[in-house]
Chains A and B, each alone.
Chain A
Amino acid sequence: MDPAHQGSSIVLLLYIFMLAAFIGFEVIRRVSPLLHTPLMSLTNAISAIAVVGAIGLAGKAETTFSTILGTVAVTASMINIVGGYLITYRMLRMFKKKEQIKK
Chain B
Amino acid sequence: MNELIRDVCYLAAAASFILALKWLSAVPTARRGVLIGVAGMVLAVSGTLIQKEIVEYKWIVIAFVLGTVVGVPLANIPMTAVPQRTALSHAFGALAAALVGTAEYYLKATKFTHFELSALALEVVLGFLTFTASLMAFGKLQELIPTRPITYKNQNIVNLGVLAAAIICSVLLVLDPTKSYLFPIIAGLALTFGVMLIVPIGGADMPTVISLLNSYAGLAASAMGFVLDNKLLIIAGALDGASGLILSIIMCKAMNRSFTNVLFGAFGQVQTASSGEVEQRTVRSATAEEAASFLEAASSVMVIPGYGMAVAQAQHKVRELFDVLQKKGVEMRFAIHPVAGRMPGHMNVLLAEADIPYDKLLEMEDANSDLPQVDVALVIGANDVTNPAARHDKNSPIYGMPIIDVDKARTVMVIKRSMNPGFAGVENELYFEPQTLMLFGDAKSFVSDLVKELSGGGGH
Question: Which residues of A does B touch, CB under 8 Å?
Answer: 6, 9-10, 13, 16-17, 20-21, 23-25, 27-63, 65-67, 69-98, 100-101
Tell me whether B99 and A46 are in contact (CB under 8 A): no
Q: Which residues of B contact A78 (CB under 8 A)?
A: 63-64, 66-68, 71
Residues of A within 8 A of B250 (CB): 33, 36
- Per the 8 Å Cβ criterion, residues 210-259 of B in contact with A are 210-211, 214, 217-218, 221-222, 224-226, 228-244, 246-247, 250
> Which chain A positions have C-beta within 8 A of B20?
42, 46
Report A-chain residues with C-beta under 8 Å of the C-beta of B51.
56
Contact B89 A61 (CB under 8 A): no
B244 touches A43 (CB 8 A): yes
Give the distance to chain B from A91, nearest Cβ to Cβ, in Å. Answer: 6
Given contacts A36-B344, A53-B233, A55-B54, contact A89 B89 (CB under 8 A): no
User: B70–A52 contact, CB under 8 A?
Assistant: no
Q: Residue on A with the closest CB to B106? A: A65
B92, B106, B211, B230 — which one has the most chain A CB atoms within 10 A of its CB?
B92
Residues of A within 8 A of B107 (CB): 62-63, 66
CB atoms of B239 and A20 under 8 A apart: yes
Interface residues of B in 38-81 (CB under 8 A from A): 38, 40-41, 44-45, 48-49, 51, 53-57, 59-60, 62-64, 66-68, 70-72, 74-77, 79
Indicate if B178 sits at the interface (CB-CB under 8 A).
no
Q: Contacts of A43 on B, CB cut-off 8 Å?
A: 21, 214, 218, 239-240, 243-244
Q: List 6 A-B contacts (CB under 8 A).
A: A31-B25, A46-B20, A56-B53, A60-B56, A82-B72, A85-B34
Given contacts A34-B358, A92-B31, contact A27 B21 (CB under 8 A): yes
Residues A101 and B355 in contact in the complex (CB < 8 Å), given A45-B41, A71-B59, A92-B34: yes
Task: Tell me whether B22 is interfacial, beta carbon within 8 Å.
Answer: yes
A28 near B243: Cβ-Cβ < 8 Å: yes
**B346 within 8 A of partner (CB):** yes
Closest to A86 in B: B75
Judge whether B67 and A29 touch: CB under 8 Å: no
Indicate if B13 sits at the interface (CB-CB under 8 A). yes
Complex Cα distance, B102 from A66, in Å, reads 8
> Which chain B residue lies CB-closest to A13?
B226
Q: Say whether A80 contacts B71, CB under 8 Å.
A: yes
Q: Contacts of A59 on B, CB cut-off 8 Å?
A: 49, 53-57, 59-60
B203 at the interface (CB under 8 A from A): no
Contacts of A58 in B (CB 8 A): 56, 59-60, 63
Decide if B373 is an interface residue (CB 8 Å cutoff): no
Q: Is the CB of B71 within 8 A of A20?
A: no
B246 to chain A: closest CB distance in Å?
5
Would you call B358 and A38 a contact (CB within 8 A)? no
Q: Which A residues lie within 8 Å of B44 (CB)?
A: 49, 52
Given known A-B contacts A36-B345, A74-B67, A86-B71, A55 and B60 have beta carbons under 8 A apart: yes
B92–A37 CB distance below 8 A: no
B90 in the interface (beta carbon within 8 A): yes
Q: In angstroms, how far is the closest chain A Cβ from the Cβ of B232? A: 6
| Chain B residues whose C-beta falls within 8 Å of the C-beta of A34 in the assembled complex | 27, 345, 348, 358, 361, 363
Interface positions, chain B 309-367, Cβ under 8 Å from A, are: 336, 338, 343-346, 348-349, 352-353, 355, 357-361, 363
Task: Kindly identify which residue among B17, B352, B361 contacts A46, using a CB–CB cutoff of 8 Å.
Answer: B17
B345 touches A38 (CB 8 A): yes
Query: Is A16 in contact with B359, judged by CB distance below 8 angstroms?
Result: no
What is the chain A residue whose CB lies nearest that of B239? A24
Q: Please tell me if the beta carbons of B222 and A17 are within 8 angstroms of each other in the complex.
A: yes
Kindly provide the distance from the CB of A29 to the nearest chain B CB, expressed in whole angstroms: 6
B contacts with A, residue count (CB < 8 A)? 110
CA distance A21 to B20 in the complex (A): 15
Contact yes or no, A83 B59, CB < 8 A: no
Q: Judge whether B90 and A44 touch: CB under 8 Å.
A: yes
User: Once the chains bind, are A65 and B103 in contact (CB under 8 Å)?
Assistant: yes
Complex Cα distance, B107 from A29, in Å, reads 40
- Pair A91/B79 contact, Cβ less than 8 Å: yes
Min Cβ gap B105→A in Å is: 10
**Within the assembled complex, what's the spacing in Å between the Cα atoms of A12 and B218?**
20
Closest Cβ–Cβ distance, residue A52 to chain B (whole Å): 4
Task: List chain B residues, Cβ under 8 A from A52.
Answer: 44-45, 48, 230, 232-233
Bound form: Cα–Cα A52–B234 in Å:
12
The one of A17, A48, A81 in contact with B234, judged by C-beta atoms closer than 8 angstroms, is A17
Q: Which 3 A-B pairs have the closest CB atoms?
A: A78-B67, A24-B242, A36-B345
Of A47, A70, A85, most buried by chain B (CB within 10 Å of CB) is: A47
Q: Is the CB of B63 within 8 A of A74?
A: yes
Of chain A, the residue at the smallest CB distance from B53 is: A60
CB distance from A22 to the nearest CB of B (A): 8
B432 lies within 8 A of chain A by Cβ = no
Given the known interface contacts A52-B44, A69-B99, the answer about A30 and B25 at a Cβ–Cβ threshold of 8 Å is yes
CB <8 Å contact, A94 and B225: no
The answer to whether B64 and A74 touch across the interface, beta carbons within 8 angstroms, is yes
Name the distance in Å between B135's Cβ and chain A's nearest Cβ: 12
Contact A28 B246 (CB under 8 A): yes
Residues of A near B210 (CB, < 8 A) are 40
